[in-house]
Structure 1
Amino acid sequence: MFGLPYNKFQKVIEIITLVLILCQIAYTAVSYPQLSSKIPTHFNLAGEVDGWGGKGTIIILVVATVALYILLTVSMFFPKMWNVPVKITDQNRAIVFKYVMNMILLDKVLIVICFFYMTYCSISSISMGWWFTPFFLISVLGVTFYYTIKLFFVK
């Protein structure tokens, strides 16, 4: 099967993700001419700036966001390549596909939110805050673990 239909929840998450990417691109494009020649390019685990680079490096965050979005979206079109912890049968196929698609879509929107925030912090030359790394890890891994555990209970 090539490509799976989205339910309403999945469509909403996909639209939110796309809008956030477009906002990140627009924000970067509008901010770029006013950027200092040197901007933060790296943050430590405490969210403090510990690396600087030229203003052109902000494009890397936008490209990384779009690349991750495309990679995760393409992976949704090839369900036969998914590695799930249960045997997929005709009886459980719909629920397994729903769970995996929800997981990918939610991880996608969380990644885009985090990369947009990193872009904002770099453009604004502010620290990300101590909470950013735990939030990023707990949210993305939490969604992944949640749906993986749900898959174990699919019959």
Structure 2
Amino acid sequence: MFRLPYNKFQKAVEIITLVLILCQIVYCAVFYPQLPSKIPTHFNFAGEIDGWGGKSSILVLLAATIGLYIMLTVTLFFPRLWNVPVKITDQNRGVVFKYVINMVLWDKLLIVGCFFYMTYCSVSSVAMGWWFTPFLLISVLGVTFYYTIKLFLIR
């Protein structure tokens, strides 16, 4: 296990992600006392509210956000366990690590941002909109496919 050094861009993406998590925590803390006893807990594919639960369910969303962030962050500490489509050599190690770190950082940012939006929609009792699920899938999978293709093209 070792810590890979971040470049300035990677540090910026990590900081933005952490700020979003802090904003979600503050948002939940500020609005929790004012929440009604039942809040939206599930949205269908069209983004419409189709499930309700107790107000403490907002804490589950917050815990899921933090849990996903931690799990994705921990993966960066174990580069030897990464499953990449190319053999890592001394010549390509820097580029492979850069691509994988960028992919994980972008995915963390997108996931945390989407979970913050889900929290906002639950607290505000508003529909997420039809565009949310396609955006989440296309953005996270798009980042993953983009960096996977870049890894395949390494020579």
TM-score (norm 1): 0.99
1:147 aligns with 2:132: no
Aligned structure 1 segments of 4 or more residues deviating by more than 2 angstroms: none
Which AA in structure 2 matches 1:4?
A: L
2:40 corresponds in structure 1 to 40
TM-score (norm 2): 0.99
Distance 1:106 1:113 in 2: 10
Other structure's SS at 2:114 match: helix
1:119 aligns with 2:127: no
1:35-77 C-alpha deviation (Å, 9 max, x unpaired): 0100000000000000000000000000000000000000000
Percent of paired sites with the same residue: 77
Mapping for residues 4-153 of structure 1, pairs under 5 Å: 4-153=4-153
Which AA in structure 2 matches 1:15?
A: I
1:86 Cα deviation from its structure 2 partner: 0.2
Distance 2:8 2:16 in 1: 12
Q: Which runs of 5+ in 2 are unaligned?
A: none
Other structure's SS at 2:51 match: strand
Distance 1:98 1:9 in 2: 11
Q: Which runs of 5+ in 1 are unaligned?
A: none
1:24-43 C-alpha deviation (Å, 9 max, x unpaired): 00000000000010000000
Aligned positions, number: 155
Distance 1:83 1:133 in 2: 27
Distance 1:141 1:36 in 2: 35
Q: CA RMSD in A?
A: 0.5
